Structure 1
Amino acid sequence: MNSLEKNLWFLLFSVNVVKTLYEPQRNPPGWNKAVDLQPFFGNAPTNRTILSGQTAYLECRVHLLGNKTVTWMRVRDFHILTIGPVSYTRDERIKVFHDERTDDWTLQIRYSQPKDSGVYKCQVNSRPKIVRNFFLKVTTKDEFEGQLYKMASSNRKYDGYDTCITGPRVRFVESGGTLTLECIVTYVKTPPPSLLWYKGNHLLDYNSPRGGISLKVETSGDQTVSKLLLYSFRPKEDSGNYTCLPFNAPSASTTVYVERDKNEVIEVQLDNGNPASVISVNTAVLAFSFVLAITLYFS
């Protein structure tokens, strides 16, 4: 082999080596780069306890759904309720909601009844298929309100739970103003299946005659946080005791005083039925100013 042949052979060999190292690898037929990115469930409460007549919300959070479909099924009769955004039930109370900005597929059951209690399945048609069970209990008002007087006092350990409302025990709100109450339930094992708010002995929710109510519940780590936002406070109707009542956990309460105007604060009924004696802020300031003036005059 002369030198020219040797050089040509070396050149061809080098080109093949470089081509092998740097040429993109061809994928086998049917290969999908997202094959390892399977859908999976995110953290969301799977136990709900509500009062009859309330709207039930079961939130199924699915990450990396891709082109797969979420299906809701009622286990009691194995009835398919929804497939994707489409309902497959004649019960107009039942719908599914999905915001494309989130990964939540929320099953809504309006005007709930005790017969709606049971297990609901959220499943995704991935391979393998993934399924998560949700447990709903619809109870009567008398059954649930009976717990309001059996719960231990606030801020005390009770069967692995601790409940508190953040902020001061007594709050002042201007007439027409807004107020946010935040209740934190810390638990050892599992979060409470439900958490309700009461004003006195009256339940507060979206369907309350008062209106102007917003509720938000979040579960993270070992805590469940419920935020109650109240709009357009009225002095006579909205002053009083507000209670955060988790299911099977201690309650926590706070007292709200609504100012009638700048010179007066309305009286509020306490738990024992006796009105609280509240002194006008401006009256107290005037009395203090008068005493101070007399003191300075004779000193």
Structure 2
Amino acid sequence: MDYTRVDAATGASAMWLFGIFLYIHCWISSGFAFNIGHASGMGPMYSTPNPEFIDTPLQTTYHTGDLAVLHCSIHNLGTKTVIWRRANEQAPITIGTMTYIADDRFQVNHVPYKDQWNLLIKNVQLEDEGIYECQVSSTDRAIRRLITLKVEEWKSRSPLVQMSGPEFVEKGGKVLLTCNATGINYPPEEMDWFRNGQKLLSDVESGIDIYKSVSISSKSITSTLEIERATMEDDGTYICRSSDLHIASKKLNVLNAGTSNVKRGTGSDKSSQLMSGSSSSNPALKWQIFLFSMMTAAVIFV
């Protein structure tokens, strides 16, 4: 037996079968029907639905330094792949979740349960502005969506921290101090409170409650310090400090309303008291005042 011919025939058969498999795979991936019983009139037994884009913003604006997000959501992607590129360039930025350019600011955020394939651009710059293309891998380039990115330059600014609240509060009264900190590119992550250099934390027994809220759009964090019933120990200097180490301070004075305060008068007040009815209760003082008046009158007439 000629084993050389047998091996050649076997190899040819294997290559033929591989070619058939590859053809069928490409046929299915292109969205055509995989039809086993078509010749017998049984109709298609398997078909792949065409990918469909979900409505997302087609134009978005960011400032330099922001994290830009270009949205692209696709139903029925199947075995196909999502490709991001600039509309005027052939070279891809990303294919699937892999980045194909040297700029590591670009990456894809894939959220499977939402069919999202969003392109993220960290620290976006003016030169990143333009039209981007989210395309489904196919010979038909019509399966794509164009997204316009506009980038505006931030005016020069610095982080801002401000504290608001009362300067005076009576003992037993409620204290509300609010601190707002704004970042440049992102909101600060945390806010700490201090009283006379000592860090404060929420404490039910002490009646101290600290709560916060974060705004991504305004790049700010707001923290509120609430003291249910102020005591004399709450008197002092309060400082709020953001996680990027910017601070604001305020002096809080706690007043003890139960303490009697004697008003100190002026010299004229004392003279008026001497000349008023307070002297009538002291006969000796009244006689001294009378003699002083008579002596003054005698000097005037002389």
- Same fold at TM > 0.5: no
- In which range does the TM-score fall when normalised by the shorter chain? 0.3 to 0.5
Q: Give the structure with the larger helix fraction.
A: 2
Q: TM-score, normalized by length of structure 2?
A: 0.44
Q: Which has the higher contact order (CA 8 A, sep 6+)?
A: 1
> Which of structures 1 and 2 has the bigger CA Rg?
2
Q: TM-score, normalized by length of structure 1?
A: 0.44
